[in-house]
Every structure is written in C-alpha cells, then in structure tokens.
A = this chain, B = another copy of it.
C-alpha cells in the first residue's frame, strides 16, 4: 500500500458516486481500499471529514481550471460581454474533460459531481456552497454581461435549467445508453461538451416572450 489516504479517497469516491453518501458505509470503503476499519477516523477524523476531503480533492482543481479558462477568455477579448458559448464551455468542458482522466477520478468523479446538486445530506450542501459559491458568482456575472437584454430573473431560471441539464448528464452514465439502445455513447466527452453547450446556449438565447406554441 503506497498511500493509505489515497486508497481511501479513491474507494470513497467510487462508492459515493455509485451508491450515494448516506448509503455508503465506512466498512464498504475500507473493504475496497484494503485498509483497517479505523483508518478513516485516523486520517480524516470522521466520515464527514472524509466526504469533505473527497469533494475538495476534485472540485478545487476543477474550479481553478474553470476560472483559468474564463480569465483566458477575458484576456483575449477584453472585459466586456464574452461570447455565450465560450463562457458555457469554460464552465462545462473542464468538468467533462476531467471526468475522462483516470488520474482525476474518471467517470466516478463525473457521477460524483452530478450527484452533488441533488444530494440531500446537509453536510454536503454546506461543503458545496463553500466550494462552488465564488466560482458560481463569477460565471453568473459573465453570463449577465453576455446576455444584457435578458432580465435577471430569466437569467437565474435559465442558469438553474442549465445546471440541471449538466448535473444530470454528468451523473447518468447508464440510463441514456439503455434508453437509446446503445446509440448514445456516454464516454464521448467532446461530443457531450459540444452538445451540452449547444443545447444550453440555445435555451439561454431564446427570446423571453415566446409564450405561444410554434
């Protein structure tokens, strides 16, 4: 065992992403990590401490990469309204791409990220606000500048819809493949990025007063 802490984090990430936080026991984790039952409490203090470490390990670098892309975009095009698709890609692409890197958790991380936003565990929600709050506000500000004619209330609703589309896509790796009869490949990261950005951008740009059916 080269590194007990890493083995625990990997096993916990795998189980949290597939079974959920509450349904995963420390005994499940330690059985996969091949470590002693007391190891989690020794290295992370408690199960809550473990959850915190599992999330931090992935989300902190993810948000750094997201903000780096956004900064890079602003440096190239100035501080005014950025192209909508570039903002969305800075938000979405790092999440999907990191999910293809086996060293960054692979598809376990993908599902973990998707699951977070609907996870009812209050501890998880507290951790989430601390980890995503600042990054989220940066992106909302950029979206506001990119869509100056969209009323703020509509922007918030659409960001919420976009979050749901993204989270569900990240979380669900099997149902779509099943429903589509194998037509859709959940491992096609670049395809997912392209399709998600296009879908969300179209919804974001839709004129607000389109009540009537086509």
Contacts and interface: CB of A to CB of B under 8 A. Distances in A.
A142 interface: no
A157 B86 contact: no
Contacts of A199: 157-158, 161, 203, 206
A20 interface: yes
Contacts of A168: 117-118, 160-161, 163-165, 167-168
Contacts of A89: 213
A132 B161 CA distance: 22
Interface in A179-214: 179-180, 183-184, 192, 194-196, 198-203, 205-206, 210-211, 213-214
Count copies of this chain in the complex.
2
A186 to B, nearest CB: 10
A14 to B, nearest CB: 12
A152 to B, nearest CB: 6
Contacts of A165: 161-162, 164-165, 168, 203
Interface of A: 18-20, 22-23, 83-86, 89, 114-115, 117-121, 136, 140, 152-154, 156-169, 171-172, 175-176, 179-180, 183-184, 192, 194-196, 198-203, 205-206, 210-211, 213-214
21 contacts: A20-B20, A22-B22, A84-B213, A86-B213, A89-B213, A156-B176, A156-B179, A156-B183, A156-B184, A157-B195, A157-B199, A158-B195, A160-B172, A164-B166, A167-B168, A198-B206, A198-B210, A199-B206, A202-B203, A202-B205, A203-B203
